[in-house]
Chains A and B, each alone.
Chain A
Amino acid sequence: MSAETGRFSRLEKHNIFDVAIVGGGVVGCAVARKFALEGAKVVLLEKGRDILNGASKANSAILHTGFDAPPGSLELHCVQQGYKEYLDIFKDFNLPILKTSAFVVAWNEEQIIRLDKIIKQAHQNNVSDVHGIDRDCLLASEPHLSTHALGGISVPGEYVIDPWSSPLAYITQAVLNGAEVRFGYEVCGGQFDGENWLLNSETNEDISARFVVNCAGLYGDYLDQFLLGKSEFSIKPRKGQFLVYDKAATALINSIILPVPDERTKGVVLTQTIFGNLLVGPTAEEQDERNIAGVTADGLENLKSQGEAIVPALREMPITATYAGIRPATESKDYRIFNYQDKNWITAGGIRSTGLTSSLGLASYIFKQYSETTEPLVPPTEIKTPKMPNLAEHEPRDWMKPDYGEIVCHCEMVTRREIENAMSSTIPARDLSALKRRTRATMGRCQSFYCTARLAELMGGDADE
């Protein structure tokens, strides 16, 4: 008898999960939540020390309406479902939303001509409140915009959300309703015996599950190759660099400023962040590496001059931070969702540049596919919903309530109480990056000049990112 079968026999029936989700990006977190709420016995396997270890670590945090998504695409469907569901649930979770709206701004005649097509497409996508706006109205709404703007489109429904607290809320709810999470679990092999999957990692015990959802993001194609022997797509990493301006700069725009998109990307965007900063980015740079998201002096200089061309007053504004994220792009524009029914396996691949918005919609879509082939589940009788700590600048923060101990990060006004809570929450922060995403600590203008040492102390020595 082979070693594999030996391992199978050791597993008790009740140790078999209904579904194993590989990858704790925003998609994996949303899928875990959906399955847990539907009553499945869920395990989420994430190779990093925390969720959001890949593409979901760094994005523009815009909640998209789908106005510019390809009509009829799966992406459009999931973005619109996700958008709707976020609006339905965010209050229950105490998650924030910044109802900024957006303007698509045309800077030359050729772009002006393209606006009509964009409006038509938006209406076709059922985003019916999208409308043209003339130069004067645009400049009246955005007084700091460069006067070179020629006109644009108003997209009232585009909003800004918290890119880190939302996925954390999803996975926390999954866990509160019975899901399990394994960090440091890199799935590197597995066998399907016609009924169950046995997933292996080099460092951890095997996991047995009836069904697998591949949410491995930037590594989704590899996972399919390793475990299914083939992948129907290949990831073509596309890096996006960002500039974050000081809080004083947020007053310079009221809405998200979008460019007229081209074939490849949504282009460079100016947006407020939920944390009260102004963001300029992203770039779109093809690269081979999937795990290296470095910034480049040229890329940042370029963003700076693009930002200043759009809002000239940015010239006077200090830059707080820079970062880069990697999109799991593929050879196709649309999402790469594959349902391998004979293998009890669904792949949610190539969730390129709208996954933060679409994740909740994707989760429902994937669950629907799953439930078509399996026996019905029994949802938990009482659904638990976590209240997330608020990190949004426009909502009351922790430091406004007494007994917080001390302010540890002065630039972002992060309290010791928030840090302690983040380190002991349902999905605790176990390193500085995780702590930063849960509290904003070190994200501010001093970039940890003042607080590194104290944070290091609170975290038991590891405060260097």
Chain B
Amino acid sequence: MHVDVAIIGGGPAGLAAAITLRKRGIKKVTILERECNAGGIPRHCGHPPFGMREFHRILRGPKYAARVVEQAKSAGAQILTRHSVTELLPGGELKVASPQGLLTISAKRVLIATGVRETPRAARFVTGGRPKGITTTGALQSMIYLKGLSPFKRPVIVGSELVSFSAILTAIKGGMDPVAMIEPGQRITARHPCELIAHFKGVPLLLNTELKEILGTSKVEGITVNDTKTGESRDIDCDGVIFTGKFIPEAALAKLSHLQLDAASGGLEIDQFGRCSDANYYATGNILRPVETAGWSYREGHVVGAMIADDLEGKLSDIKDASVLCRCEDPVKLVVPQRIIPGRTGGFKHLQLRVSRAVKGELIIADNLGREWKKKMSVLPERRILVALSELGILENTGTLRVYFKE
């Protein structure tokens, strides 16, 4: 099978890219989605607010997902569900598993938009057995919103990212009575006024509280937590544990492929056009970094979709290989894009950064020529930091950009 653009992943980012590509007149745009339905993560986020940016109204996730899928379909994109991409080959050839059999799809360009997932218990090294009642927000959402199942009654929510608060809402929707939300830091990771969700729903928010052990053999019977200030430990009675956030890009496919990954973000390495190390491949959406909203991913999908259209029209063909590499240093956790082609406009207008802990000081972006871009700021982890590429004045001979903080 031959297509112009194959898009891996039918979430907001992949769908948005398909819409743009079709609007730009690209003929064969095919979305390969491994689930039985396209729509991505919002399909099982049965809560608002989605769609403010895209549709200027507040929707619940499933409704939002359905709308974006509808848009892509009416724009003329082909959506193949139950199609799992199993291998990425150089030049744009894909191995795909489908219930009809194995396929090889050759695409002029491939867009990877496989999203993020949460870090499960295993990779967090939490002491304890394997009792029933341990899950992630995503798994809980699909149980409650998609299947009407409710695995426990009194869960503890581990983490305080945005998604952690949606775990509270999901749990309540499922008829549960969350016992507490625990966060090892001294403030929540999500933005104010998220804590009000916990407050109004009557869920105690325990800061400076670290999970030490999960208790129970066949079912969760409680957890042991440590006070990070005093070192004292105590038990909390509960029958479920929801691990929330600590997102990681769903980059399994890419990891086993020829494409260059970015160790810092855990996703694919790209230039400002969204292009991967193999110029036939592009990436967009949350595969690029943990984690952005659906709205952001959708917009990013449009941007990269437009770049692919430019590329297919020959507008990117004159691009030189020489590129400037961005390297981040702790506490700067990641930079996207990692490669900048000097002297070009178009594509991503900003460097996206994240820090690993709360920092106050000066963000510095320094090049090999001794030039520095500086800005005073005070930032928290998991918050978006944007630096306009136009302000950096990147030149042909800029070399490497060091992105760091002076505290």
Residues of chain A whose beta carbon lies under 8 Å from any beta carbon of chain B? 244, 246-248, 291-298, 300-301, 316, 318-323, 399-407, 410-411, 413, 445-450, 452-454, 456-457, 461, 463-465
Contact = CB atoms under 8 A, between A and B. Distances in A.
10 contacts: A248-B252, A295-B125, A295-B126, A316-B263, A322-B125, A323-B130, A399-B97, A407-B84, A447-B120, A464-B151
Contact of B100 (A402, A456, A457, A463): A402
A318 to B, nearest CB: 7
A457 B147 contact: yes
Contacts of B34: 407, 410
A456 B118 CA distance: 20
Contacts of A452: 135, 139, 142-143
Contact of B256 (A247, A322, A403, A411): A247
Most B Cβ at <10 Å: residue of A301, A407, A445, A464: A464
Contacts of B36: 406
B97 A453 contact: no
Contact of B132 (A300, A405, A454, A465): A465
Closest 3 CB pairs of A and B: A447-B120, A453-B142, A402-B101
Contacts of B149: 453, 456-457, 461, 463
B39 interface: no
Nearest to B263: A316
A464 B125 contact: no
A318 B248 contact: yes
B147 A453 contact: yes
Given A402-B100, A446-B117, A450-B139, 14 more contacts: A292-B129, A294-B128, A294-B130, A318-B123, A323-B130, A399-B84, A402-B99, A445-B252, A449-B136, A449-B138, A452-B139, A454-B147, A457-B149, A464-B151
A321 B248 contact: no
Most B Cβ at <10 Å: residue of A292, A295, A400, A402: A295
A292 B142 CA distance: 30
A448 B127 contact: no
A403 B212 CA distance: 46
Contacts of B133: 464
B82 interface: yes
Contacts of B135: 448, 452, 464
Nearest to B128: A294
Contacts of B384: none
A331 B165 CA distance: 52
B255 A403 contact: no
A462 B130 CA distance: 15
A246 B252 contact: yes
B388 interface: no
B121 interface: yes
B86 interface: yes
A260 B135 CA distance: 39
Given A316-B263, A407-B34, A294 B127 contact: yes
- Interface range on chain B (Cβ under 8 Å from partner): 35 or more
Most A Cβ at <10 Å: residue of B99, B121, B151, B217: B99
Contacts of A450: 117, 138-139, 142
B255 A248 contact: yes
A448 B139 contact: yes
A457 B148 CA distance: 9
Contacts of A463: 149
A245 to B, nearest CB: 10
A322 B217 CA distance: 16
A404 B142 contact: no
B139 A449 contact: yes
Given A291-B217, A297-B127, A410-B34, A453 B139 contact: yes
A461 B217 CA distance: 20
A447 B122 contact: yes
B102 interface: yes
B125 A410 contact: no
Contacts of B117: 446, 449-450
A222 B121 CA distance: 34
A184 B337 CA distance: 57
A246 B97 CA distance: 21
B146 interface: yes
A405 B122 contact: no
Contacts of B255: 246-248
B112 to A, nearest CB: 15
Contacts of B138: 449-450
Given A403-B99, A448-B120, A293 B129 contact: yes
Contacts of A456: 143, 147, 149
A12 to B, nearest CB: 38
Contacts of A410: 34, 84
Contacts of B123: 318-320, 447
Most B Cβ at <10 Å: residue of A293, A298, A407, A461: A407
Nearest to A402: B101
A404 B127 contact: no
Interface string B80-91: 001010100000
Interface string B11-49: 000000000000000000000001010000000100000
Most B Cβ at <10 Å: residue of A319, A320, A445, A449: A449
A297 B126 contact: yes
Given A316-B263, A413-B84, A405 B129 contact: no
Interface in B91-120: 97, 99-102, 117-118, 120
B99 A406 contact: yes
A87 to B, nearest CB: 31
B217 A292 contact: yes
B158 to A, nearest CB: 14
B290 to A, nearest CB: 13
Contacts of A248: 252, 255-256
Nearest to B100: A402
A405 B147 contact: no
A321 B117 CA distance: 15
A14 B123 CA distance: 54
Contacts of A247: 252, 255-256
A159 B100 CA distance: 35
A407 B252 contact: no
A126 to B, nearest CB: 40
Interface string B304-330: 000000000000000000000000000
A321 B122 contact: yes
A405 B256 CA distance: 26
A3 B36 CA distance: 59
A403 B98 CA distance: 8
Contacts of A321: 122
A297 B125 contact: yes
A244 to B, nearest CB: 8
A155 to B, nearest CB: 29
A293 B189 CA distance: 33
Contact of B122 (A291, A296, A319, A406): A319
Contacts of B120: 446-449
A6 B321 CA distance: 90
B132 A464 contact: yes
Nearest to B215: A294
